[in-house]
Structure 1
Amino acid sequence: MECPMIWTGLLDWSVGSLCGVTLVLTQIAIASVTLYLHRSQAHGGVKFHPALNHFFRFWLWFTTGMVTREWVAVHRAHHTHSDQEKDPHSPKVYGIKEIFFKGLSYYRKACRDDSIIEKFGQGTPDDWVERNVYSKHTSLGYFIMLGIELCLFGLPAFVIWGIQLLWIPLWAAGVINGVAHWWGYRNFETRDTARNIIPWAFWIGGEELHNNHHAFGASAKFSVKPWEFDIGWFYICVLSSLGLAHVRQTFPKMPESSDLVDLTRSELMHSLLKARWSFMSQYMKRVIRPVFSKEQRNHKAKGLGALPLRCISFIQDRVVISDRKQKILEHVLSEYNDLNIVYEFKQRLVSICHRDHRTKDFIEDLIAWCDDAQATGIHALASFSDWVRDYLPQSQEVSSSVSS
C-alpha cells in the first residue's frame, strides 16, 4: 500500500536520502556563517564575488533568520572584550553550561543592545533588500523554507526543518562560543581562553580551530600547523580557483630581517606585531626548551630523576592552566633559577607584544628587553636577544629619532 503524498512529499525519498539532504543543507549554512559572516564580513580576511555574497546572505536569511550586521557586531564585540565582562558570550564570565545550553539567548540579548550594533556593525550590507527583507522580516525566510520542504519531503520535513533551526545555535553558539573557550589545545598564548577543539576541523566549517583564529583574527585560513586541516580554507581555495574569492590576509610569518631594512619605524612595528606569535614560538624553541633540557640534565646528575616534561606546556601557556598545575609550575620555577629567569623574560616579552604601543615605545621596550636578556648570562637567552636585535634599529638611532 502506497503512502499518501503528505507523508512522502513529491520526492518520496528514503530515510538515508533525507539524512543526506539534511547534512548538505546544514553544512551549507555552516559554510555561509564561517566564510561570509565570519571570515569576510567580520574580519575582512577574504572577499567574495558579489553574486556569491548575496547567495550567502539569502541562505542565512532563508535557513537561520540571522542578520549580517547583528552577527558581525556581536562577533567583533566578542573579540574586543574576549573573556572579559563585556564579552557577549564568554563561558569564563557566565559559565560553560550557560553558554553551551543558552548561547542563542546570549547572542539575541547582544543583538538587542543598540550600542553594540552601532559601534561594531559598521561596513556590513545596507542595501534595499537588506533593509526591507532580510533585516525586517527575519523569520519569513525559514517559514518559506518549511513550506518548500513540506512539498518536497512530506511530514519528515518538520524534522529536517527543526534540525536546520537548531544547527547553528548548537554548533556555533554552544560548541564554538562555549566549548572552544573551555576545552581543547592551544598553539598560542592569547590573552583569552580560546582553544582549538580538534586539529581536523571539518564539521563546523573550520571554526574548531578557535585558538588559531583568536591569535590572528584577520586570517582567512584558520589552520596553522602542518597536521591541522581547515575545511573552510579548502572551500576558499576552491572558490578562489573559480575566480569567486580573493584572499586578503593569512596568518603572518616572521619576515626576514633584511626585508625590514627600508621600512619606517611605524611599518617596522606593524610588521613585528603582526608576527608576534612567531616571536613567541621561536622563544619556546630557542630558549625555553634548551634551558629546560639543561636543567633536566643537572637534575638527573644530582640523582633526583627527571623534571616532568609537562612543565613545558605549563610554561608555554600559563593563561589556561589549573590551580594545581599552577602550584606545580611555581614549585619547579622556585627550584631552578635559570628556568625561572627565562620564564620571567617570556612573560615580559608577551606583555610587550600585547600592549597598545606608540612606535617609539614598542621599539625601545624591545631594545631594553634585549639589553636585560644579555645581562643574564644565560647563553640561550642572550642568543635569542641577538636574533631579535637583527630586526631592530640601533639604540642610538631610536634616541636620535626621538630627539629630532
Structure 2
Amino acid sequence: MALVLTFFALHWYLSVLMQTFFLHRYAAHQMFTMNPFWEKVFYIITFVSQGSSFLSPRAYGIMHRLHHAYADTEKDPHSPDFSDNLFDMMWKTKSYYNDIVHNRDTIDPKFKKGVPYWGAMEKFGDLWVVRLGWGILYTLVYIYAYQNLDMHWAFFFLLPFHYLMGPVHGAIINWFAHKYGYINFKVNDTAKNLLPFDFLMMGESYHNNHHKFGGRANFGGFRWHEFDPCYPLLLLLNGLHVIKLKRNNDLKYM
C-alpha cells in the first residue's frame, strides 16, 4: 500500500507542479523568462510528470489567456456557467484544446504571442501510442503492488486519475474554484479561493487572488493562512539564474 500511495502522491504533485510552474505561470502568463536550454528541460520534465495526460504548453497557454480575457462568458474555454456539469465542461475543454493543437482554431493572434513551442516534443507527447505506453506503465505498478505487496484491490480505482492527471487538475480549479470557496477581491467573474491552505494544488486554488492580480507570481500571501508552495521554488530558481522573474504586471488577458 505504501508503494502505491507514494507513487500516486509523486505523480499528483509533480504533475500539478509542472502545470502551475511551466504551463500556467510561464507559458500562459510569462511571469518569468528562461533561456532555450532550460525551456526544453522543463518541457521534458512536464512530459515525464504528466505522462499519459501531457498537455501542450502552447495550447494550455493560449487557452488560459482566453479564460482570463473572457471568464464566465460564452468565449471562455471552460466555464461552469456554460456547461451542464463537470464532465460536460471537461469535454468542451478537450475539444477546444484539440482545435488549438491541430491548428483548427480561429483565435486572435494576440493570445498566441510569446507562448513556448517545441514542435517535436509536443507531437511526440500527443501520440496515442505514447499516451497508451504511460497508461500501461501506471497499470503495471498497481498490478505489481497487488500481486506482491498485498495491495487492496480498491486501489485500482486510482488508476483513472493517473491516466487523466493533467485534465483532472485543470478541472478542479476551472469548475470547483468558480463555484466554491471564499473571496478576497471583487472581480468581474466567479473566481474564488478554493482552499484556505492550498496543500493540494500548489497555489492554484487561490483563484480569486490570481484573477485579481493576473501577473503576480505569488498566488497566495493576502491572508495569514495563504501559502503558495510554488512561489519559493520560483525565488530559488531565480536566485540560481535558471529563470528571471519579471516585475508584476496585469495585462488584460493575463
- The two structures have a TM-score, normalised by structure 1, of 0.52
Aligned pairs (5 A) from 1:117-136: 120-130=111-121, 132-134=123-125
Q: How many residues align?
A: 233
Partner SS for 2:244: strand
Distance 1:114 1:187 in 2: 35
Q: What letter matches 2:54 in structure 1?
A: G
Q: 1:50 to 1:22 in 2, by over 3 A?
A: farther
Distance 1:238 1:141 in 2: 33
Distance 2:83 2:161 in 1: 26
Q: 1:149 to 1:181 in 2, by over 3 A?
A: closer
Alignment match of 2:176 (pick from 158, 162, 179): 179
* CA RMSD in angstroms, aligned pairs only: 2.8
Distance 1:147 1:51 in 2: 30
Q: 1:131 to 1:170 in 2, by over 3 A?
A: closer
Shift of 1:216: 1.6
Alignment match of 1:145 (pick from 125, 134, 138): 134
Distance 1:59 1:148 in 2: 17
In structure 2, the gaps of 5 or more residues are 147-154
Tell me, yes or no, if the aligned pair for 1:89 and 1:106 is still in contact at 8 Å.
Answer: yes
Aligned pairs (5 A) from 1:315-354: none
Q: 1:170 to 1:240 in 2, by over 3 A?
A: same
Q: 1:141 to 1:182 in 2, by over 3 A?
A: same
Alignment match of 1:71 (pick from 54, 60, 82): 60
Q: 1:28 to 1:49 in 2, by over 3 A?
A: farther
Q: Deviations over 1:91-119 (max 9, x none)?
A: 12335xx2x33332121121225113855
Tell me, yes or no, if the aligned pair for 1:90 and 1:177 is still in contact at 8 Å.
Answer: yes
Shift of 1:162: 3.1
Q: Between the two structures, name the one with larger relative contact order (CA 8 Å, sep ≥ 6).
A: 2
Residue 204 of structure 2 is aligned to residue 207 of structure 1: yes
Q: 1:149 to 1:88 in 2, by over 3 A?
A: closer
Distance 2:142 2:108 in 1: 38
Shift of 1:121: 3.0
Distance 2:81 2:140 in 1: 45
Shift of 1:153: 5.9
Partner SS for 2:33: strand
1:192 alignment partner in structure 2? 189
Identity %: 27
Distance 2:108 2:95 in 1: 11
Residue 16 of structure 2 is aligned to residue 30 of structure 1: yes
Alignment match of 1:163 (pick from 135, 149, 161): 161
1:239 alignment partner in structure 2? 237
Tell me, yes or no, if the aligned pair for 2:135 and 2:163 is still in contact at 8 Å.
Answer: no
Q: Deviations over 1:177-234 (max 9, x none)?
A: 0111111111111111111112322311211000110012111110131411111213
Shift of 1:124: 2.5
Q: Deviations over 1:323-365 (max 9, x none)?
A: xxxxxxxxxxxxxxxxxxxxxxxxxxxxxxx9xxxxxxxxxxx
Distance 1:48 1:146 in 2: 31
Greater Cα radius of gyration, structure 1 or 2 = 1
Shift of 1:19: 0.9
Q: 1:247 to 1:129 in 2, by over 3 A?
A: same
Shift of 1:49: 5.3
Alignment match of 1:46 (pick from 32, 35, 54): 32
Partner SS for 2:163: helix
Residue 88 of structure 2 is aligned to residue 102 of structure 1: yes
Shift of 1:151: 6.2
Distance 1:237 1:70 in 2: 26
- The two structures have a TM-score, normalised by structure 2, of 0.79
Q: What letter matches 1:39 in structure 2?
A: R
2:247 alignment partner in structure 1? 249
Q: Report which of the two has the higher share of helix.
A: 1
Q: What letter matches 1:74 in structure 2?
A: M
1:390 alignment partner in structure 2? none
In structure 1, the gaps of 5 or more residues are 1-14, 253-273, 275-353, 355-404
Shift of 1:74: 1.2
Distance 2:167 2:145 in 1: 21
Distance 2:220 2:127 in 1: 33
Residue 210 of structure 2 is aligned to residue 224 of structure 1: no
Partner SS for 1:116: coil
Partner SS for 2:177: helix
Q: What letter matches 2:185 in structure 1?
A: F
Q: What letter matches 1:237 in structure 2?
A: L
